[in-house]
Structure 1
Amino acid sequence: MSGLDMTRPFVALRIAVLTVSDSRDLASDRSGALLAERIVAAGHDLAAREIVPDEVAQIQDVVKAWIADPAIDAVITTGGTGFTGRDVTPEAVEPLFEKRMEGFSTVFHMVSFGKIGTSTLQSRATAGVANATYVFCLPGSPGACRDGWDEILANQLDMRHRPCNFVEILPRLDEHLKRAKAQGAGL
């Protein structure tokens, strides 16, 4: 049975939000604002928030900087996951993944189907692990961001969620690096 175990401590994560849009700025970015508000309301720290146009290089520049920053545990992008020629977020972000989170897209589509039916097919929501940082790519609509946060990420980014969650395995995401370093040092 899944749910919150209130006997476990809450662990605040440092989460960055990237809006991918050719037409939004901070004042008109409803999806990024929604995510930022929910992150803070959940008790996490909003580590950074930016907006970039639908350009592979610009998306990658920001995501690469954030996954290299030890002060950021997770990145959530919003926008650019559709099928138009300008929708390039998966093309920009997936090459950075060391491990793709196959189940995220599946669960996102299950949740989304319940709200918008077969229109969920127009989303290429994706997620993975890059440089020991979780990266989640959500569609650009406020409804999709609300569903992605409320139905998936709020639980998985909460240490109290049982039977398992992303927080408890966060320290082990880079164990392959630690092992390699230890072997190189003769430990």
Structure 2
Amino acid sequence: MSLTRKRQKELDRLRSDAQELWGQQQEVLANANALAAAARKQAAHYSREELAPRVREGYESYVRPAAQSAKDSAGHYAGVARDRLVGDVIPAVGTAVGTALSVVDHARAARSAAFAGDFGKARKEITKKATAASRNSGPGAGTIIAVGLGVIAAAGLLYAVWQTFRADDELWVADEEPATPAGE
């Protein structure tokens, strides 16, 4: 099919207009890419110069003092637990062990006296044992076991708190500035 000269000129003009439009679009895209690169560079500068100091300041003002006070509280509670253990639990356990050993000694003495045939002496040892046990009617074995389990649970809790708050500060905010590309 052959085109007239007029139609051929119109098609050629349309083709050149399309190519010119395509070139203009390529320039617009190139300018948009350059503008986006400049915006990205400015955003990096803004975050480094404005946002990072504000985040650090917020961390230093709010997060670090709260973490420090929690850490100090945990240390305080650990000291109280240690004092309670040394002042209350260990003496109670010592008293219970001493009473149990005393009862065992009186029982042995009563058994050996009964075995030797001296039942009067055996009865006397048994009454000593009963009066010694009633005189030392402090906390029972159940109480001591419960206190021991409580101390173990408190120690586990304090260890968990210590593990939680011993994390490095670098996990929250990096100390060094991020590296910038050499072209900036």
TM-score per shorter chain, which class? under 0.3
**Counting helix residues as a fraction of each chain, which structure ranks higher?**
2
- Normalised by the length of structure 1, the TM-score is 0.20
* Greater radius of gyration (CA): 2
**Counting strand residues as a fraction of each chain, which structure ranks higher?**
1
